[in-house]
Structure 1
Amino acid sequence: MKLLLDTANLEDIKEGMEYYPMIGVTTNPSILAKSGEPMFDHLRKIRQIIGRDKLLFAQVMGETYEEMMADAKRMVEEVDEDLHIKVPMTQEGLKAIKAMKAQGYKVLATAVFSAQQAMLAGAAGADFVAPYISRMMQAGMDAYAIIEEIAIAYEEHSIETKIIAASFKHSVQVEKCILAGSPYITATLPIYKQMLAEPLTDVAVKGFQSDWQNAFDGVLPHKM
């Protein structure tokens, strides 16, 4: 199980990287637009925070194959060669994924809503595929069953493409996606904080503190 932050907020990235076991950051055009600064400048700031050993994802904006290929080339030139390129799972996008992989790009097939799309992305050689969980559910689809179908298909046919479940509204969705077979998750910092929060843990910690205070006058172990 590997976790990524789905944000372009620099403060959230700093906090998430400091406190949580994050392996990288995913962005999209909508997220980057909220930063209020040029795309490449902001991506370079994110890279500076997370380092080259972490994964960083950014999405092409072109709609045609030619535009997507040109976008990918420019993005790698402006950021770095380790940047993962997100490509929408359209017919033009599928063509671009094939070509990008042939040229050595790192690629994620994004905006995936079915196991069939994920199968095509896997056959095209995409490194990752990102099913949109909440949006599936809003459309009346069984998102967890789709995750399970993708995971089974990839395993049975030895497809190396990894699932990164995305688009969450609450932490229970994350839990269910992991149990359904998604080895990677990308979510916002508030979602991860929901996963961590547990009132019973707070009660237990207060009990430990009270017992320690009574026995050792609150002197911490490293000062004893």
Structure 2
Amino acid sequence: MDLYLDSADIAALGPLLATGLFRGVTTNPLILQRANVRLDEVPTLVEWLLERTDGDVFVQTTAQDADDIKREGSRLRAMSDRLVVKVPATRDGLTATRRLVDAGVPTLVTAVYGPRQAVLAAAAGAQWIAPYLGRMTEAGRDGHEQVARMVQVLRGSGTRTLVASIRSPEDVVGLAAAGADAVTLGADVAQALFDEPLTEAAVAQFDAAAAALR
């Protein structure tokens, strides 16, 4: 399963991207707002990200009408052939996704909350969907079960699952076991993946033994 980072905070992203373990970065308007990145600063952010990863950078459209979403998506894609356009799973968004795909623009359908939206995204030819695991669970749905069903209905379609709204490292393990193609993680959850007290204790013993042998 591929790992992505869900952030626009360059201070948090830099050390994590330097590990080489994360294939790219996803953003959306809320993430930009939290990092104090204005829309006119997105090209600078994208350039910074592309210099630090060999994978894709995902940027979301902000228009609401299908025609405007398509135009905005085409402008975003012009920044780089490694930029994937994120489009919300609304009727207009899915309509625009089909048009973008027909124009050769790779897309991710985001804010997906159920398998029927996954089916629609596949019909639109989207490269990815982004189910919101944590938000589904917080809304009273079984997020892990919903994602597992999406994985099942998308099998063989060419549309992949990039699960967002991840709350814990345990979620990541569960999604890997369910067959999700990828996850995108906030910096706090990504950092928590590395934390294992037993490993740290073992390494401390190794270090002490190595010091005694010098």
TM-score greater than 0.5 by the shorter chain: yes
**Which position in structure 1 is the counterpart of 2:213?**
215
**Which position in structure 1 is the counterpart of 2:70?**
69
* Letter in structure 2 aligned against 1:75: L
> What secondary structure, in the 3-state scheme, does the structure 1 residue paired with 2:30 have?
helix
Deviations for 1:49-93, whole angstroms, at most 9, x for unmatched residues? 43373200011111110121121122233x224311101101111
Instruction: Assess, with a 3 A threshold, how the Cα gap between structure 1 residues 196 and 20 changes in structure 2: closer, same or farther.
Output: farther
Aligned match of 1:176 in 174, 188, 196?
Answer: 174
Unmatched tracts of structure 1, length 5 or more: 217-224
Contact 1:65 1:93 (C-alpha < 8 Å) held by counterparts:
yes
RMSD, aligned α-carbons: 1.6
**Which position in structure 1 is the counterpart of 2:201?**
203
Segment drifting more, 64-73 vs 124-133: 64-73
Q: How many residues align?
A: 213
* Letter in structure 2 aligned against 1:131: P
Q: Give me the whole-angstrom Cα distance separating, in 2, the residues matched to 1:45 and 1:88.
A: 21
Write the mapping of 1:83-94 to structure 2, written as runs, cut at 5 A: 83-94=83-94
**Which position in structure 1 is the counterpart of 2:133?**
133
Contact 1:8 1:46 (C-alpha < 8 Å) held by counterparts:
no
Q: By how many angstroms is 1:40 displaced?
A: 4.4
2:16 equivalent to 1:16: yes
Segment drifting more, 11-20 vs 24-33: 11-20
Q: By how many angstroms is 1:140 displaced?
A: 1.0
Write the mapping of 1:182-201 to structure 2, written as runs, cut at 5 A: 182-201=180-199
* Letter in structure 2 aligned against 1:121: A
Length-normalised TM-score, structure 1? 0.89
Q: Give me the whole-angstrom Cα distance separating, in 1, the residues matched to 2:43 and 2:111.
A: 21
Instruction: Assess, with a 3 A threshold, how the Cα gap between structure 1 residues 166 and 37 changes in structure 2: closer, same or farther.
Output: closer
Contact 2:23 2:56 (C-alpha < 8 Å) held by counterparts:
yes
Length-normalised TM-score, structure 2? 0.93
Contact 1:47 1:56 (C-alpha < 8 Å) held by counterparts:
no
> What secondary structure, in the 3-state scheme, does the structure 2 residue paired with 1:45 have?
helix
Q: By how many angstroms is 1:20 displaced?
A: 4.7
> What secondary structure, in the 3-state scheme, does the structure 1 residue paired with 2:71 have?
helix
Q: Give me the whole-angstrom Cα distance separating, in 2, the residues matched to 1:72 and 1:200.
A: 46
* Letter in structure 1 aligned against 2:183: I
Contact 2:74 2:100 (C-alpha < 8 Å) held by counterparts:
no
**Which position in structure 2 is the counterpart of 1:220?**
none
**Which position in structure 2 is the counterpart of 1:164?**
162
Instruction: Assess, with a 3 A threshold, how the Cα gap between structure 1 residues 130 and 119 changes in structure 2: closer, same or farther.
Output: same
Deviations for 1:112-170, whole angstroms, at most 9, x for unmatched residues? 00011111101211000000011000111111111111111222xx2111100100222
**Which position in structure 2 is the counterpart of 1:57?**
58
Q: Give me the whole-angstrom Cα distance separating, in 2, the residues matched to 1:61 and 1:91.
A: 15
Q: By how many angstroms is 1:16 displaced?
A: 1.2
> What secondary structure, in the 3-state scheme, does the structure 2 residue paired with 1:19 have?
coil
Q: Give me the whole-angstrom Cα distance separating, in 1, the residues matched to 2:4 and 2:135.
A: 19
Instruction: Assess, with a 3 A threshold, how the Cα gap between structure 1 residues 53 and 213 changes in structure 2: closer, same or farther.
Output: closer
Q: Give me the whole-angstrom Cα distance separating, in 1, the residues matched to 2:46 and 2:74.
A: 19
> Identity of paired residues, percent?
28
